[in-house]
Amino acid sequence: MPRIAGQVDLVKSEAMLDAASQVIAERGVGAPVEAIAKRAGVSKQTLYNRYGGKAGLIQALIRRRIDTLTAPLADGAEGAGPEAVLAHFAFDLMTAMLAPASLAMTRVAIQGAVDMPGIAEAVFDGGARVSRARLADYLCAENAAGRLAVDNPAEAADLFSGMVGARQLPALLGAPAPSDAETLERLSREIARRFVRAYAV
């Protein structure tokens, strides 16, 4: 059965994002758009029509990853309490932040913040801004349900993100810091425990 137009568009969009992930991992964020389009099997114009250029493509790529990471916040991890949900979220987020591809993109965004502000903005808008907004929404819901007492969800989301992101700076600078799964799980549980205790009802 032939795909309808919307399905074709979705398939092409996913192909372009997959190609961008592969090419950027291989060649860095400076990889030409032409190389990404070729890998995806589309024209450069198709890529520009869909994403507006490299910044939009990177933002969409990061947004796709954030959609996966924040999914447990949207569904409350099937009825789990806030400490369990936040520990799961912290572990997934920390793992993603410390992944080599994420560190490489963050380094490039920081280095190019002056010369390539569009790329830096895309990295922040597609990643940190979205994940913090979704965390704030989750905290609002937990507050309304009476499970937490969060008077300023946006600020609380920033504080939580700061604790989770504390390991990223040493990693960006190449400083030694344990990042094995066991250590990250322990840290995630501790972050969630302290956070929930700070905003206990």
pTM above 0.75, yes or no: yes
pLDDT value, residue 197: 97
How far is it, in rounded angstroms, from Cα 159 to Cα 163?
6
pLDDT value, residue 122: 75
| 160 within 8 A of 188, measured Cβ to Cβ | no
Provide the residue type at 137 as one letter. D
pLDDT value, residue 78: 59
* Cβ count within 10 A of residue 58: 28
Of residues 112, 117, 105, the one with CA closest to residue 58: 105
* DSSP state letter for 53: S
DSSP symbols for 59-126: HHHHHHHHHHHTHHHHHHHHH--HHHHHHHHHHHHHHHHTSHHHHHHHHHHHHTTTT-HHHHHHHHII
How far is it, in rounded angstroms, from Cα 139 to Cα 200?
12
Q: What angle, 0 to 180 degrees and rounded to 10, lies between the N-to-C axes of helices 153-164 and 130-144?
A: 120
pLDDT in single tens digits along all 201 residues of the chain: 444 544 448 888 889 998 988 887 788 777 889 999 999 999 999 999 999 888 888 888 888 888 888 888 886 655 689 999 999 999 999 998 898 878 877 877 787 677 777 777 777 877 888 899 999 999 999 999 999 999 999 999 999 999 999 989 999 898 888 889 999 999 999 999 999 999 999
pLDDT value, residue 29: 72
pLDDT value, residue 179: 86
Domains of the chain: 1-52 (1.10.10.60), 55-198 (1.10.357.10)
b/e 59-78 (16+ beta carbons within 10 angstroms → b): bbbbbbbbeebbebbeebbe
pLDDT value, residue 77: 54
| 71 within 8 A of 96, measured Cβ to Cβ | no
